[in-house]
A = this chain, B = another copy of it.
């Protein structure tokens, strides 16, 4: 069987800008396939974090998602901002902002490509053990985000994913690292 060839990028042009990603058109060349255009979404590194209370409840966020035009249940997460020293700090910040919960221990679980076909960025997963409530969610006055906090027993998560009550692929991937691929040694 023939070996899949490598493409070489010739030029890239930003064709549209939004507050959360830029759309680029990439012109690339391939030994057997010539020159073609591809489209890439440039976005910052993303983070997700599983906050778990001492009572083994996961702190979930209910929020309106404009892509599907409906509410979702997710673990907290977001983009790594330029001010964040690293992805773990960004995840902790998002957990405090979206949930009002905190932990001094932030354990890395792994990272994935959200969509390597069209996005260069990665999403890093973390686990925060023994989180405690330290305040109210920051409703980002003047901003567009509003969250409601829901505490759900960790033991219920599997059934919620199976039933579609938790449907975000990156959240499901985070729980799979927690369960299967890189479970924290102690929690």
Contact = CB atoms under 8 A, between A and B. Distances in A.
Q: For this complex, into which size category does the number of interface residues on chain A fall?
A: 35 or more
Contacts of A55: none
Given A64-B7, A136-B1, A148-B3, A115 B169 contact: yes
Interface of A: 1-7, 9, 15-16, 18-21, 23, 26, 28, 30, 32-33, 36, 38-41, 62-72, 110-120, 122-123, 136-137, 139, 143-144, 146-149, 158, 161-162, 164, 167-170, 172-173, 175-176, 179-182
Number of copies: 2
Contacts of A41: 41, 67
21 contacts: A1-B136, A4-B146, A4-B148, A5-B64, A6-B64, A7-B69, A19-B39, A66-B117, A67-B119, A68-B113, A68-B116, A68-B120, A72-B116, A110-B162, A112-B169, A114-B114, A123-B169, A169-B169, A175-B176, A176-B180, A180-B180
A153 B161 CA distance: 26
A16 B5 contact: no
Contact of A180 (B30, B111, B122, B179): B179
A5 B144 CA distance: 11
Contact of A118 (B67, B120, B136): B67
A1 B138 CA distance: 11
B112 A114 contact: no
A179 to B, nearest CB: 6
A149 B68 CA distance: 34
A69 B180 CA distance: 28
Contacts of A39: 18-21
A9 B69 contact: yes
A2 B40 CA distance: 38
